[in-house]
Structure 1
Amino acid sequence: MFSRRLFLQGAALTGLSSLLPAALLPAWARSASDGNTGLSPATATEFNLSIGRFPVRIGGRGGEALGVNGTLPAPLIRFREGDEITLNVTNTLEEDTSVHWHGLLVPFQMDGVPGVTFPGIRPGETFTYKYAVPQSGTYWYHSHSGLQEQEGLYGPIIIDPKHHDPVTYDREYVLVLSDWSFESPYRIFAKLKKMSDAYNYQQRTVGDFLKDAQEKGLGAAWDERAMWGQMRMSPRDIADVTGATYHYLINGHSTADNWNGIFRRGERVRLRIINASAMTIFNVRLPGLPMTIVAADGLNVQPLEVDEFQMGVAETYDVIVEPKDDQAYAFVAESIDCSGQAVATFGPKPGMRAEAPALRGVPTLTMKDMGMDHGAMGHDDMKMDSMDMAAMDHSEMDHAAMGHDMGGMSMDHSAHGMVDDASWPVEKKDIKRGPGVANVAMMPMSRLDEPGIGLEDVAHRVMRYSQLRSLTRNPDLRPPGREMEIHLTSNMERYMWSFDGVKFSEVTEPIIFHEGERLRVTLINNTMMPHPIHLHGMFFDLVNGGGDHKPRKHTVIVKPGEKLSFDVSADHVGDWAFHCHLLYHMHAGMMQVVSVLPSTDKKMMDHEHMDHDMMDHSAMGHDTHGETK
């Protein structure tokens, strides 16, 4: 908790953390490691971070975490927009490490991705990050080395605006959502490689079949099961790693720990919510208390009142709640597959415990999630007389001939901001076919106006990407000069993940942007799972029908079978990671590098010596154990 009034008392001249007494800084979180006081600066704008291992206690059980300054989550770092700050990161581990400043527009040498922007921080060494950023809002930081993020190396960042904050509030809390396992993340990854559904204990049963047969008829239920069986897919493949091994945490605390937030009735309370999990997409709600979304991925949006929203890994949302009653409210972060949840309590008195709601029913995927929405074409999902889906050989099908480029389809995406007849050139790569590509979506479509898997039929208001609007006008209103398509590809059974059928260790050249250009990136999800896709170094404008107020984001969930686009201005020269933020997907290969090449029209003092054509991309973190270091 941080009082808005205290902020106003100290915010006039310099960074918040340098003015307020230390006793006022800690209230953002009690962590799993005996208290988290925030990171007190060594000077007004200098911070010291020490990465190491330390004991934690989660849900009454002891374990060991890898993190910053002995806390889980890592300490809150808070500074002011435009301030030049220094962060000295010391590695006390026996392995390399790194820190990436997620969503921050830092020079690429400060971005913290080993093998892409710097070599990493060796054991016993200190690396100094220095930067000033032209932004404010809610962000976070985490390791980009191996699977350290899963072990606890993640923490929040709050950047206070240099001038006026359009969001008024009386009190604020930072809520870091995460997933924790007492298993080694490398053991988890090894299990997934051997059997991708090792943690999925929610498969359909004979009872489910009998229920479907009663509702749809025996023949339809049997045909549907046969189709899924032939494709060796499960309609319950919602999450790779589940509550079978995960403890879901809020500020390092499980539901049993009952993390508390305090408010006074009638206050405007700002919740800065960060999904810092490794693999868990969360559904967030406060039953009985509406939320007004005021920021997404750190940037202000037009206020949108909802009752729930689905939150991808690495996304951040700021919401305002205004409790009218002196009662305890449950803050609920439920995993997308409903295998578990983290519940905290907000109330007028310390120590209150809100009643945790029961877990909801497990979602089941449909034809639409396979990129084959026959319902939209006049076919019944379960009765496909004209197509024997069970006999289809997806690996040999000529998908190019079936209009996968959308050019031969009459589907109208204009309502969601999609443009089918673009006047700019569209660059389409052939998907590299092989064992890493098990499926290609036959009919990808816009799903921006859908709330997310499992939330389609809830009775209350759920946020949709199509509803988000930037509070201010988009800074670059030029139409794209070109468009590129990137396919999200996988073989779930073999746990292989990639872009365009090429995993990171096999990439021979980067994705090229040219400084100053405006381009459209279109993502097509050929997999059966949602992917939070993150672009380092740049914000993009999500093409959602928002006109000149498109939401500006750094991470977006691409639903199964979905085709979505974002426009980006390539104004940040350097090499930038581009990847799925599901940690084990990235580790298995769903990552590439975007190189923004300097313009030849003007001199780039810091970058004119760079020769990207001669860059050794084979050395960009491609190891044999995983796909990223």
Structure 2
Amino acid sequence: MHINRRHFVSGTVGSGAALALVGWMPAWAQPVSSGIVAPLPTVSGSDISLRIARQTMRVDGKVSRAIGINGTVPAPLIRLREGQNVRLSVTNDLDEDSSIHWHGLILPFQMDGVPGVSFPGIKPRSTFVYEFPVVQSGTYWYHSHSGLQEQLGHYGPIVIDPKGPDPVGYDREHIVVLSDHSELSPEAIFRKLKVNPGHFNMQRQTLGGLLAGKDQPLKDRLEWGAMRMDPTDVADVNGSTYNFLVNGYGPKDNWTALFEPGERVRLRIINAAAMTIFNVRIPGLRMTIVQADGLNVRPVTVDEFQMGVAETYDVIVTPTDDRAYTLVAEANDRSGLGRATLAPRAGMAAEVPPLRERPLATMKDMGMGDMDMSAGGAMEGMDPSSAGAAPAPDCPPEHAKMGHCTPADAAAAPADHSAMGHGAAGMSHSMRDFSVAPQVKRDPSVQTISPMPVDRMGEPGQGLENAGHKVLTYHDLVALDKNPDVRAPERSLDIHLTGNMERFMWSFDGIKMSDYHEPIPFLEGERVRINLINDSMMSHPIHLHGHFFELVTGKGDHAPRKHTVLVQPGGKASFDFTADALGDWAFHCHLLYHMHAGMMRVVSVRPRGEAA
């Protein structure tokens, strides 16, 4: 066989260069392993022992520091049955206090696991015993509520099987825990965010993007610059420092879930990330949503869904072909993705789609409604619901004096928005007009007040407006069973999600957790409508401990019930809830560093007859 020497040399050089370039590719685009088929370790029964300790973990071949439970990240799957009693003995082997919060579980507040709110925490080298009845079924999870431990791997899944027949039929199930992991310590990440909140954003607009027509026109760019806003500021921490994991494995590890063609496969998907909102899809395979936040919903078939931190979704897929499929969990700012494989055999892999174009914030994301910045003229569609009405007669005094409560059906008068000229020609509008939010503290921590917040629960999520296929919205969710409480709310409570993105300051109503003096009070059995008004340009997954609430999406007595709701930038989300769990409960943004910076309060449910 004759070999041309020049061709041989150039071929080997080309191969070597290609191999060298592989190291520069993002993890999700690099060659994968033969596939890791590893179910999560499981603990079950009425007596369960858990041990929290420092360890290392290996992600895509690299070793980094972690905190695990029983030696694993994620922590073991806790499998329970509705109707049983469970006793969980948790030993803290760390040199610092720790805790476990049972996310989404209905239990006595003393067992909820939030240091300083419901219990003192678990001291180093000590054991705390959680004990409670299991009164529900579904997919949930657990995690630390101490410091920034959750970022290091202190999280795990919970599955509670129903005591009766499961309305969801399936042949096989897989637990899918999504998370984010960095070799940087969480303390270092938080310091960098405080010094420069845009530190991790490597996707800013460039001259090249302008010339190529991929970024905003120069005029719009100048408008955003005048407002000191960055339309690429979608995620605080992203793929520039994060690896995105599936069940603790990176994209190159290729965690694999097996199936037999034709089977109904149930995927219990949990977003246990610290900071990442994921867009989840399986190219070539439609997903039928059957459960949201642990509660059954009427089946709805979609191609993709956006998943806020701390949300869970159960989906049914029915792959009929003898081939592999890629489960894609793409960060909402498109800076990276986690991947897993669904396949009939180990060692298979499917194509991983390239990252889609990163989203740019719009005027709607700034709380300007549907107004086009370049259009000019008067604003339309002003949402007046957060100003002007008299307080409800049964509004707690501390809220009434802050202008916090309005009758649930009150129509408020529009506020004066002529405080400052802003943006396009002819537009007179202020983004710091506190008259639309009288309860918000005037403070440097409040950078903007959304002038025209609109209900965005019927939208698919930032960056998914033109996905080209069916994307889930909250309006698609309908509870399978009738809601347990269908009373109309007695009063309405507006809560503003506030922040200063330039200083990485986050709060509710301009008051961060360390500065508040009184909890938000409710009376036992009270029915209240909560209006969450996002005054920032970032999405916030808001979680209420100890309760489920009904999203106000026009579904009547079958409104979807959840424990976490993702509030879109510049938008509103409303829910009705019944204060049926006595005690003190945490209420916070589930973006870890937002909560750590102050976006957290305490909700106190008091017996009727007790002084407010």
Alignment TM-score > 0.5, same fold: yes
The 8 Å contact of residues 404 and 442 in structure 1, kept in 2 or not, is answered as no
Q: Which residue of 2 aligns with 1:294?
A: 290
2:542 paired residue among 515, 533, 537: 533
SS of aligned partner of 1:255: coil
C-alpha contact (below 8 Å) 2:551/2:560 kept by paired residues: yes
Q: Which amino acid in structure 1 is aligned with residue 232 of structure 2?
A: R
String of CA shifts for 1:293-318, please: whole Å, max 9, x gaps: 00000000000000000000000000
Aligned to 1:456: 465
How far did 1:164 drift? 1.4
Distance 1:368 1:87, change over 3 A: same
Please state if 1:331 is matched with 2:302.
no
From the superposition, tell whether residues 464 and 374 of structure 1 become closer, same or farther in structure 2 (CA, over 3 Å): closer
Note if contact 1:50-1:92 (Cα within 8 Å) is conserved in structure 2: yes
Amino acid at match of 2:268: R
**CA distance, structure 1, for counterparts of residue 607 and residue 438 of structure 2:** 24
How big is each residue's C-alpha offset from its partner over 1:409-459, in whole Å with a ceiling of 9 and x where there is no partner?
Answer: xxxxxxxxxxx9943699975110111001000100011111001111011
Query: Does the 8 Å contact 2:270/2:310 carry over to 1?
Result: yes
Residue type of the partner of 1:255? P
Map of 1:562 onto structure 2: 571
The alpha-carbon distance between structure 1 residues 193 and 612, as it changes in their structure 2 partners (threshold 3 A), is farther
Which letter maps to 2:338?
A: A
> Any conservation in 1 of the 2:386–2:494 contact (CA below 8 Å)?
no
Distance verdict in 2 for CA 1:459–1:423, change over 3 Å: closer
Q: Give the conservation status (yes or no) of the 8 Å contact 2:37–2:257.
A: no
Q: Secondary structure at the match of 2:43?
A: coil
The Cα offsets for residues 561-620 of structure 1, whole Å up to 9 and x where unpaired, read as 1112100011100000000000000000000000000123xxxxxxxxxx897xxxxxxx
Q: Aligned partners of 1:421 and 1:592: how far apart in 2?
A: 23
The amino acid across from 1:342 in the alignment is: G
> How many angstroms apart in 2 are the aligned matches of 1:84 and 1:121?
22
Work out which of the residue numbers 497, 500, 507 in structure 2 matches 1:498: 507
Q: Secondary structure at 1:257's aligned position in 2?
A: coil
Which AA in structure 1 matches 2:103? H
Q: Describe the SS at the equivalent of 2:455.
A: coil
| Aligned-residue offset at 1:34 | 12
The answer on whether the counterparts of 2:457 and 2:474 sit within 8 Å (CA) in structure 1 is yes
Moved more, 226-235 or 179-188: 226-235
Separation in structure 1 between the aligned mates of residue 107 and residue 99 of structure 2, nearest angstrom: 15
TM-score between both structures, scaled by the size of structure 2: 0.85
Alignment counterpart, residue 498 of structure 2, candidates 489, 499, 521: 489
Q: CA deviation at 1:524?
A: 0.2
Which residue matches 2:86? 85
CA distance in 1, matches of 2:121, 2:456: 38
Is 1:382 aligned to residue 342 of structure 2? no
Give the structure 1 partner of residue 108 of structure 2: 107
Q: Residue 260 of structure 2 aligns to which amino acid in structure 1? A: R
- Deviation, 1:209, is 2.6
CA distance in 2, matches of 1:161, 1:229: 54
Task: Report SS of the residue matched to 2:80.
Answer: strand
**For residues 159 and 429 of structure 1, do their structure 2 counterparts lie closer, same or farther at Cα, with a shift above 3 Å needed?**
farther
Report the AA paired with residue 506 of structure 1: D
Corresponding residue SS for 1:256: coil
Within the candidate set 583, 600, 608, 1:591 is matched to: 600
Structure 1 residue 69: deviation in Å? 0.6
Q: Distance in 2 between matches of 1:211 and 1:35?
A: 45
Contact 1:424 1:482 in 2 (8 A): no
Mapped partners of 2:284, 2:38: distance in 1: 30
Q: 1:519 aligns with which of 528, 532, 545?
A: 528
Look up the match of 2:428: none
Hey, what's the Cα distance between the residues in 1 that align with 2:343 and 2:113?
Answer: 39
1:232-262 CA distances to partner (integer Å, 9 max, x unpaired)? 1100010000101000000001110000111
Structure-1 residue corresponding to 2:23: none
Residue in structure 2 matched with residue 608 of structure 1 by the alignment: none
Query: 2 CA distance for matches of 1:87 and 1:320?
Result: 31
Deviations 1:147-169 (CA, angstroms, capped at 9, x unpaired): 00000000000000011110000
C-alpha displacement of 1:54: 1.1
**CA separation in 1, counterparts of 2:215 and 2:502?**
30
Q: Is the Cα contact below 8 Å between 1:490 and 1:527 reproduced in 2?
A: yes
Structure 2 residue identity aligned to 1:382: S
Q: Is the 8 A contact 1:424 1:480 kept in 2?
A: no
Matching of residue 268 in structure 1 with residue 264 in structure 2: yes
Residue 263 of structure 2 is aligned to residue 254 of structure 1: no
User: One-letter code of the match for 2:489?
Assistant: P
Please say if residues 104 and 546 of structure 2, whose CA atoms lie closer than 8 Å, have aligned partners that are also in contact.
yes
Instruction: Please state how far the C-alpha of 1:223 moved relative to its aligned partner.
Output: 3.1
User: SS where residue 191 of structure 1 aligns?
Assistant: helix
Equivalents in 2 of 1:78, 1:46: separation in Å? 12
Q: What secondary structure sits across from 1:193 in the alignment?
A: helix
2:239 alignment partner in structure 1? 243
- 1:85 alignment partner, SS class: strand
Distance in 1, Cα, partners of 2:249 & 2:572: 37
Change (3 A) 1:423 1:456: closer
Return the match for 1:542 from 543, 551, 554.
Answer: 551
How far apart are residue 345 of structure 1 and its match? Answer: 0.6
Match of residue 423 from structure 1: 409
Distance 1:372 1:172, change over 3 A: same
- CA spacing shift, 1:374–1:273, aligned 2, 3 Å: closer
Q: 1:432 aligns to what SS in structure 2?
A: coil
**Shift >4 Å, 4+ stretches:** 32-37, 401-404, 424-429
Counterparts of residues 310-389 of structure 1 (less than 5 Å): 310-373=306-369, 375=371, 380-384=372-376
Distance in 1, Cα, partners of 2:330 & 2:383: 38
- Residues 96 and 170 of structure 1: is their aligned pair in 2 closer, same or farther, counting only changes over 3 Å? same
Question: 1:406 Cα shift?
Answer: 6.4
- Give the equivalent residue in structure 1 for 2:29: none
State the Cα RMSD in Å: 2.3
What residue identity is the alignment partner of 1:330? T
CA contact (8 A) 2:36 2:256 kept: no
Q: In the alignment, which of 269, 280, 286 is matched to residue 284 of structure 1?
A: 280
Q: Is structure 2 residue 41 aligned with structure 1 residue 38?
A: yes
Q: Is the 1:39–1:47 Cα contact (8 Å) retained in structure 2?
A: no
Say if 1:36 and 1:71, in contact at 8 Å, map to a contact too.
no
Cα-to-partner distance string for 1:314-367 (whole Å, 9 max, x where unaligned): 000000000011110001100000000011111111121121110110000100
Give the C-alpha shift of residue 382 in structure 1. Answer: 1.6
Q: Is the 8 A contact 2:387 2:438 kept in 1?
A: no
